[in-house]
Structure 1
């Protein structure tokens, strides 16, 4: 019996391929796939070109010639792999009900990642995912359940008015609903959003300013970070949610909420979750650097944009999250990958 690969159709199983019956496990199977099954059909010459042009001496500084920065080169997943294989991108799932289950499983995995990284604090924090069956509604986590315990079946389906319409019929965070409903209404390009009261995000938010271009990781946020320069208290009114959306604007995917914390968004929950974990770590690094009180050497905007073009596209950000997700699925001993 052949195996269905969403990128190439039906393929024959081999010793190195194990058939996966469930969407999440199947997604992990295709996590590292051969280029011969890639939708991009990259040649060895293409990979060699990408490696030589994007990494050079392991640097991406302003010392690069301007023409090098402006010349189109392989980006994203095509640029970060060599050896005849590449990381799998976002799977195409045509059936909206199967896509819903896939999203909820990845959402539960994202919560497990957040728990392991210490992003929990009482009942605070939430992740939402737009419903692919009814895009005017979304799924959010139940109020008062530890992130490390959540499964796909625990998620709550709510409509634009905040009414629970499906899934796990329990209470949801009122402030979380106000924030996420405003985002999903205003930004149709966003399918998932994350917000928690993480330690370093809260600490950096007290300054009410964007992160500096300190290192390669900081460049991930170049051109997509914004700051909400206010604090209107706990978000229990729709107006405050609208203010947050205004600060997010039409392009930003990461938002520093002054005196509050971090919020990230993306086309997939994987992208949004990875941006959050990366943003939290970058806040930690920024605070460490600033505490040294020495002069900082910042990356120039041109080199930062070049790096962002390579590292911060949706496909690459999705792939960046898979190692953490895969670890949580392994840790769960099947709990996250059996339709629970």
Structure 2
């Protein structure tokens, strides 16, 4: 047994959430899903004020640690002093989801290469692999409106994600929502993996693609999203291994 707060899946303790959010940033960097100082991962803190933590604008994801985050409210105001600004587009996107979805503890947005390529395809993510099955019928789509600076876009973002935990931002990237930080990360990890498989398959020629029967795709999607069999809440089973990986590489994420 361990008392490590980084492993406390489902916690509402700010200290533990800071550790898990820092771990999430480092994992995104480790798996090559980051975009220099851009992109954002946020976590909503407990309490009625809807405060959330987000990355300070200017730090690489590989530099983020538990003490790095900027705490802001839904209007973008600093809750605690910080020497760093917050990315405007990041605030618009994340505040929209946190305000509109009570279950959105964590919001994760990337511009990873394969996912962004998929976002530009009319058909989006196809059920070409088991990785992709979980997203079939469980993904929203948001048309590109330019860099997300307009506060009015928040209403359209929350309308387009609807009840889903994955939102494809056309010509932009992808966003995942988690009831835990672990869930948001694993949804992003497997979306990118599914996207890479699709691009590899399509490179062989669309005439060679084989799609499963719709009833099989629908069954697999339900199995993933309704946690059939030994499938647990997304990310919870893998998370201890991720924490061990990060501690071996560089434990400074805990600082």
TM-score for the superposition, normalised by structure 1: 0.68
Is the Cα–Cα contact under 8 Å of residues 43 and 106 in structure 2 kept in the other structure? yes
Alignment pair present for 1:232 and 2:116: no
Which protein is bigger by CA-based radius of gyration? 1
Give SS of 1:171's match: coil
The 5-angstrom pairing of residues 189-208 of structure 1 reads 189-208=103-122
Alignment pair present for 1:282 and 2:198: no
2:219 pairs with 303, 306, 310, which one?
A: 303
The C-alpha deviation readout for 1:306-328, integer Å capped at 9, x for no partner, is: 43233797724332344223311
Deviation, 1:291, is 1.6
Is the Cα–Cα contact under 8 Å of residues 133 and 220 in structure 2 kept in the other structure? yes
1:324 pairs with 217, 242, 255, which one?
A: 242
The 5-angstrom pairing of residues 35-74 of structure 1 reads none
Deviation, 1:134, is 4.5
Give SS of 1:315's match: coil
The C-alpha deviation readout for 1:232-285, integer Å capped at 9, x for no partner, is: 100001112321221101x21011111101111110111101111111111111
Is the Cα–Cα contact under 8 Å of residues 211 and 218 in structure 1 kept in the other structure? yes
Deviation, 1:113, is 0.7
Is the Cα–Cα contact under 8 Å of residues 210 and 225 in structure 1 kept in the other structure? no
Partners of 1:310 and 1:111 in 2: CA distance: 26
Alignment pair present for 1:23 and 2:14: no
| Greater than 4 Å deviation, 4+ residue runs | 311-314
Root-mean-square deviation (CA), in Å?
2.2
Assess, with a 3 A threshold, how the Cα gap between structure 1 residues 208 and 181 changes in structure 2: closer, same or farther. Answer: farther
Partners of 1:313 and 1:159 in 2: CA distance: 35
Partners of 2:49 and 2:245 in 1: CA distance: 30
Structure 1 residues not aligned, in runs of 5+: 1-16, 29-89
Deviation, 1:195, is 0.6
In the other structure, the counterpart of 2:92 is 178
Q: Which moved more, 1:314-323 or 1:158-167?
A: 314-323
Is the Cα–Cα contact under 8 Å of residues 130 and 184 in structure 1 kept in the other structure? yes
Q: What is the number of residues matched between the two proteins?
A: 249
In the other structure, the counterpart of 1:139 is 53
In the other structure, the counterpart of 1:244 is 157
Is the Cα–Cα contact under 8 Å of residues 54 and 70 in structure 2 kept in the other structure? yes
The C-alpha deviation readout for 1:31-89, integer Å capped at 9, x for no partner, is: xxxxxxxxxxxxxxxxxxxxxxxxxxxxxxxxxxxxxxxxxxxxxxxxxxxxxxxxxxx
Give SS of 1:185's match: helix
TM-score for the superposition, normalised by structure 2: 0.89
Alignment pair present for 1:109 and 2:109: no
Is the Cα–Cα contact under 8 Å of residues 138 and 157 in structure 1 kept in the other structure? yes
Partners of 1:174 and 1:185 in 2: CA distance: 16
Is the Cα–Cα contact under 8 Å of residues 113 and 325 in structure 1 kept in the other structure? no
Q: Which moved more, 1:293-302 or 1:232-241?
A: 293-302
